A = this chain, B = another copy of it.
Amino acid sequence: MNAPNPYETAFSIAAVERDTGLAKDTLRVWERRYGFPAPMRDANGERLYPADQVEKLRMIRRLLDHGRRPARVVGASVEELSTMLDACLCPEGGAPAGRDDGLLQLVRLHRSVELAAALRQALMKQGLQRFVAQTVAPLAAAVGEAWMRGEVDVPEEHLFTEQVQNVLRGAIGAHASIAGRPRVLLTTFPEEEHVLGLLMAEAMLVPEGASCLSLGTRTPLADIRSAAVGGGFDIVGLSFSIAYPARQAIEGLLELRSLLPEGIELWAGGAAVRDKQKRLPGIRVVGDLEDTMAALQDWRARNGAEG
């Protein structure tokens, strides 16, 4: 009785695809090539993945997102994977110690009500821009790290995103200057569904008097072009999360650059394009939130006071 029936906590290949983001074909070919995963079979011969293998697959997935290659990680032991994950975390900005982890705790414990209240309180106290730079961005980074470590899961990340969205959208809407310059169109490429980068950029720009319009995520290139041209925008801003393939980002940005008229600038931000400026001629790579403000200053200096 102390060992629960493994069948009760085992997952079909479709469920594993949903939970890990690894395609069914990929799961089967890894099994063939590397001997992992090694699922059980049900009465009908179909794969049944035990929970611990799914957990290991999640660790592997996270390492692949950080650029590791399958041959080096599929087949490694859980301990080795754990070590590799730690190695991915530390170099990023040194030791992020002493930060206020209260909000992260709320996320991990699913305390949605308290999280919403705490976010609104921080917003009131700090004002929109500092709220984004000093509260939302660090919290997003902390959630990302916790996600790497496997300490938060899809539902927690989701709750976090939703609550931050609520607060940011409300605050941005309150500014509502639709006349200011520059006019910025914000969106992501079709394969990118992370929305927080967009909202943070918008929250930094709107208080400065820029007028932003977000198309949301997953906009086809042709639609970005027509929206930018038809709406008379000065700048198109794209956001890329860490999971977005750098190569694909560069390729897409260069194509979009060629689609847009010269008068419209193209800005790109997020982990996937950081340090890629030299491969992106004619495109402004925005390193972080502060750099967004710098880019705005630059634009205004170039385009005079009237605009």
Contact = CB atoms under 8 A, between A and B. Distances in A.
How many copies of this chain does the complex contain? 2
A166 B173 contact: yes
Interface stretch (A110-118, A250-258, A259-267): A110-118
Interface in A149-181: 154-155, 158-159, 161-162, 165-167, 169-174, 176, 178
A218 interface: yes
Contacts of A226: 110
B178 A169 contact: no
A29 interface: no
A213 interface: yes
A216 B196 CA distance: 14
A173 B178 contact: no
A158 B215 contact: yes
A227 B109 CA distance: 9
A245 to B, nearest CB: 15
A220 B166 contact: no
- Residue of A166, A171, A178 most packed against chain B (CB within 10 A): A166
Given A215-B112, A218-B158, A231-B113, A169 B176 contact: no
A111 B233 CA distance: 12
Given A117-B178, A162-B214, A170-B170, 4 more contacts: A112-B213, A162-B216, A170-B172, A173-B173
